[in-house]
A = this chain, B = another copy of it.
Amino acid sequence: MLARLGHVALRTPDLDRSLAFFDGVIGLELVERGDGCAYLRAWGDHEHHTLALIEAADGAVDHAGWRTRAPQDVDAFGARLRADGIEVEDVAAGVEAGQGAALRFRTPAGLPYEIYHDVEKRPPGAGRRPAVKTNSGRPWDHGISPRRLDHVNFVTPDVAAEEAWSQTALGFLTRERIRRDDGTVQGAWLGVSALAHDLALGAGPTAGGRGLHHVAFFVDNASDVLRAAEIFIEHGIEPDHGPGRHAISQAVCVYARDPASGHRVEIYSGSYLVLDPDWPTVEWSQAEYRQWWGAQPSRTEGSPIDVVTPC
Contact = CB atoms under 8 A, between A and B. Distances in A.
Nearest to A233: B131
A147 B272 contact: yes
Contact of A234 (B139, B272, B282, B294): B139
A226 interface: yes
A79 B4 CA distance: 33
Nearest to A1: B277
Interface stretch (A52-60, A201-209, A215-223): A215-223
A308 interface: no
A244 B46 CA distance: 25
A15 interface: no
A47 B133 CA distance: 35
Contact of A250 (B134, B138, B222, B284): B134
Number of copies: 4
A292 to B, nearest CB: 6
B3 A277 contact: yes
Contacts of A277: 3-4, 67-70
Q: For the side of the interface on A, what is the size category? A: 35 or more
A202 to B, nearest CB: 18
Contacts of A70: 277
Interface in A180-221: 193-195, 220-221
Interface of A: 3-4, 44, 46-47, 67-70, 121, 130-135, 138-142, 147-148, 176, 193-195, 220-224, 226-227, 229-231, 233-234, 239, 243-245, 247-248, 250, 252, 254, 269-270, 272-273, 275-278, 280, 282, 284, 288, 292-296
21 contacts: A4-B275, A44-B272, A67-B277, A121-B278, A121-B280, A130-B234, A131-B247, A134-B272, A148-B272, A193-B194, A194-B275, A222-B223, A226-B245, A226-B252, A229-B245, A229-B293, A239-B293, A243-B243, A243-B293, A273-B273, A294-B294
4 A-B pairs with the lowest CB-CB distances in the bound complex, closest first = A194-B194, A223-B223, A4-B275, A69-B277
Given A132-B247, A132-B292, A194-B273, 15 more contacts: A4-B276, A46-B276, A133-B247, A133-B284, A135-B250, A148-B272, A194-B194, A195-B273, A221-B222, A221-B223, A230-B293, A233-B292, A243-B243, A244-B294, A294-B295
